[in-house]
Chains A and B, each alone.
Chain A
Amino acid sequence: MEEITFGIELPRAAAIVISIVAITYFCFILGFGAYFARFSKNINDFFFSGQRFAWWLVAGSMIATGIGSHSYLKYAQQGYETGMSSTMTYLNNWFLVAYFVFGWLPIIYFSRIRSIPQYFERRFNRVARYLAVLILLSYMFFYIGLSFYTVGVAIEGLFGIPHLYSVPVLALVLGTYVTFGGQTAVIFTDLLQGVMLYTAGAICIVAGFGALGGFGEFWGWLPESHRLPFVRLLEEPGYNAAGLFWGEALAGSIMFTFLNQGWIMRFLACRSVHEGRKAAFFNFFVTLPVSAVVVGAIGWIGKSIIEKQAGIGGALEGIDPIYIQNTAHTFVIVAWEVLRQNPWVFGFVIAALSAALMSTIDTLINACAAVGIYDVYRPMRERVHPDTPDRHYLHAARWASVCATVIGVLLVIWFVKQQATIMAMHYRGIMLIVPPLVTTLFMGCFWRRFNAPGAIFSMAVGVFFTYLTAVNPAVLRPLIWLVIGVEPSGYPAGAGWEDAAGQINPLSNLYMNALYGMLITGLAGVIATHFSYSRYYRPTILKLARGVKAIPFAFTDPMAQFMVEALDKKRDITGLTVDTVTEAMARFKGGEPNHAVGKKARRIPVELDDAIPFKQVSLSPAIMETMKAGDGDMIYVEDARWWLGGLRSVHTHAAKPHERGRDVVLMSKETFDDALMIKGRPVTLEKVF
């Protein structure tokens, strides 16, 4: 069970100051998020912000999304225990970058995929979509509940306020701005909170180096084992290099970059795939390494301070001596001391900690609502009322956000009853939920022959066998033998590998369930796909479907129908696999893409001309030449103030160039209003392709 004290004795006056800072911050965020509600005009704006934002805005907002609520507590603890190897989980995504930036990102963007399950339906069929919805929602609700629970633990430890009160209040704040503001509010509040997170982390790091006497002292007093970027191959069951590679670098990273609906929605908010790639590379190359330092550094500093205290035989100048009995309290103890027990600055740091929670959960709530609307409610509603207006779905999306928040809060009750640490619950849950979905999606993207029978069979088999590893971990033994290659006698003694009988037990590795689940899912997919192309497949399925239909239960009829539906192999999957991205690009544009690299045309005045069709612009020949654009090319038009990041912008197509003899943009009033432009403001133009 999590302990609920943080190892510091907080004076009453300090607790009041910290509370004031945190509450002020919450109110500010609430107002900030609510302001952006005005930019959500329809369902597309609510979930994807109209696909108009600049890369830096999306990349900046992902800082806070990537740092979870538990990150500061978990990684400071890990940093204290194993040192700089706490960065491992943040620095292992590069292996998958090619698959993401050249494969998955253009596929979802050009094919106008709105949710992960929607991809499953278009790539496979309805049954695959429903299976994906079940797995995906399990993952997202699990994550929302765990995040609420984590902050409940933190608040209880610091202020003594039980989960019962703290979690619903937090949920109310979060739920309000996500419900009314949608994705635009999420992006802008997350951008602000990302800045807060980095600022708070930087303050703690600078204060820590100051307490130690500079970076040289910090590095010099850090033991060798704590300086290394990797833990040992078999450090301990919960954190070892072999497990982290298979469980985190592969399964975890694919889940986060390919299947995290909140993450995907950020990229879909970009103005183009090119901007999405900029945001992705910035994230992998800059944001993740910096975040790894920000969340782990307090643990490293704490270790260095304790070593120096022991070396010089007493407390460091200007701060009280630091003692850490329970490493779970590392962040709070070390931050409180290196900040010289200043409640105002510490209050700001705690507010930033809350920012990490809020930004993770707001993204997930918005994502859950997107899945709820696009994959559950809308398909059902359209069968009965096909002409339902967009406004209805916008209203429903807000209710879906409320429902996602409430379910997340209710799940906290379940987490409170679990007898495990936050980290163990986190990894155990993720490693059991994600493998079937991760593998099926990956195969769907990168293997054209993979089809609906293969996807359905692989997900069903994958779920069963992945859960089997929780019931009977012995099935993992051959796999561990293959990929680790170390006999039990070679495992380090006393590192936690021993079972109840005191024998080394390689099965306690926390990450191998994911690899097992992925392999079984992949194997099942390959076998089912190959069988589905054989001459025995059709008669076998038809016979089975007839047998199922004969069973006198209500659900057997649709089940038989689904089985027959799965026989259909004539599905158009253009644009949904990696080898058809070029075709998807042409469909997205509505013509042949123009890849000539031109320049932006900046600060061009706008003139209204209602003869120009909606979402088209007419430009001077000189501007067209600058951008290397031709008739029909996609042109992105935005307010010339770059720092708006595309808040006032629109995608258009180039009409025939005008002959007015000067550089102006002609567009209709309708297009002008749709872009949320302001009269008298010049615009910047960019050819998309």
Chain B
Amino acid sequence: MDAKVDSAGKVGMHRYVMLTAAVILVVVYALPRVLVATFGVDSPWTSYFYKYGFGAIFFFVGVFIVLKGGACSLKRGHDRFWFRFLILGFFWYLAMHGLWIVASLTIPFLGEV
């Protein structure tokens, strides 16, 4: 009985991994093309979304792995604190870089353009 469950679980897991890999491959192909078509190759927003688009994949896959593996348990006091800091940190960097670009593009340059 156990062996059957294991076997079924493994098959399910393999399918899950294969599906995730396929989705990531499609995103890797599509993301740069969509960004270049939308903003143009020279826009700072292309670099911004390229970095945070691919970066978010790595970041949230990492979050999923440490939660699923039990390395980070939200039941432990210290882990919960660091986990919140981890997520906030990602969005802090995301917001900070976004605002930085806005400030760069909107405050006038004093010299000759």
Q: B42 to A281, Cβ gap below 8 A?
A: no
CB of A427, distance to nearest CB on chain B (Å):
18
Q: A103 to B65, Cβ gap below 8 A?
A: yes
| CB-CB under 8 A for A220 and B36, given A95-B58, A99-B62 | no
CB contact list, B5-52 vs A, under 8 A: 28-29, 32-33, 35-36, 41-44, 46-48, 50-51
What 1/0 mask marks residues of chain A from 543 to 555 whose CB sits below 8 Å from any chain B CB? 0000000000000
Main secondary structure of the interface of A (DSSP, over half): helix
CB contact list, B64-86 vs A, under 8 A: 65-66, 68-73, 75-79, 82, 85-86
Q: B108 to A220, Cβ gap below 8 A?
A: yes
CB of A91, distance to nearest CB on chain B (Å):
7
CB of B106, distance to nearest CB on chain A (Å):
10
Q: B65 to A99, Cβ gap below 8 A?
A: yes
CB of A520, distance to nearest CB on chain B (Å):
16
A595 within 8 A of B: yes
A344 within 8 A of B: no
Q: B82 to A492, Cβ gap below 8 A?
A: no
- Report the tally of A-B residue pairs with Cβ distances under 8 A: 164
CB of B16, distance to nearest CB on chain A (Å):
14
Partner of B72, one of A102, A228, A274: A102
Can you name the residue of chain B whose Cβ is closest to the Cβ of A307? B111
CB of B44, distance to nearest CB on chain A (Å):
5
Q: A230 to B51, Cβ gap below 8 A?
A: yes
What 1/0 mask marks residues of chain B from 74 to 113 whose CB sits below 8 Å from any chain A CB? 0111110010011001100100010011011101111110
Q: B85 to A230, Cβ gap below 8 A?
A: no
Q: A97 to B89, Cβ gap below 8 A?
A: yes
C-alpha spacing A154/B77, complex, angstroms: 49
CB contact list, A207-259 vs B, under 8 A: 217, 219-224, 227-234, 241-242, 245, 249-250
C-alpha spacing A155/B34, complex, angstroms: 49
CB of A229, distance to nearest CB on chain B (Å):
5
Chain B residues near A241: list those with CB within 8 A.
46-47, 50-51
Chain A residues near B29: list those with CB within 8 A.
482, 485
A270 within 8 A of B: no
CB of A527, distance to nearest CB on chain B (Å):
14
Partner of A220, one of B72, B76, B110: B110
Q: A308 to B111, Cβ gap below 8 A?
A: yes
Main secondary structure of the interface of B (DSSP, over half): helix
Chain B residues near A96: list those with CB within 8 A.
58, 62
Q: A485 to B111, Cβ gap below 8 A?
A: no
CB of A258, distance to nearest CB on chain B (Å):
12
CB of A111, distance to nearest CB on chain B (Å):
13
C-alpha spacing A91/B42, complex, angstroms: 21
CB of B70, distance to nearest CB on chain A (Å):
6
CB of B104, distance to nearest CB on chain A (Å):
4
Q: B101 to A250, Cβ gap below 8 A?
A: no
A62 within 8 A of B: no
CB of B97, distance to nearest CB on chain A (Å):
5
Q: B41 to A234, Cβ gap below 8 A?
A: yes
CB of A251, distance to nearest CB on chain B (Å):
12
Q: B109 to A223, Cβ gap below 8 A?
A: yes
Q: B59 to A492, Cβ gap below 8 A?
A: no
CB of A359, distance to nearest CB on chain B (Å):
26
Chain B residues near A229: list those with CB within 8 A.
44, 97, 100-101, 104
A-B contact pairs, 27 of them (CB 8 A): A91-B97, A94-B93, A95-B55, A97-B62, A98-B62, A98-B63, A98-B86, A101-B86, A103-B71, A220-B109, A224-B105, A227-B103, A229-B97, A229-B104, A230-B51, A232-B47, A241-B51, A245-B54, A249-B51, A446-B65, A446-B69, A482-B28, A485-B32, A485-B36, A578-B65, A578-B66, A578-B71
Known interface pairs A245-B50, A582-B70; 20 further A-B residue pairs with C-beta atoms within 8 A, sorted by A's residue number: A84-B100, A92-B51, A94-B90, A96-B62, A97-B62, A102-B72, A103-B62, A220-B110, A221-B109, A221-B111, A224-B105, A233-B42, A233-B50, A242-B32, A249-B55, A281-B82, A482-B28, A482-B29, A579-B70, A581-B71
Closest 4 A-B residue pairs measured CB to CB? A579-B69, A227-B104, A485-B32, A241-B47
Interface residues of B (CB under 8 A from A): 28-29, 32-33, 35-36, 41-44, 46-48, 50-51, 54-56, 58-59, 62-63, 65-66, 68-73, 75-79, 82, 85-86, 89-90, 93, 97, 100-101, 103-105, 107-112
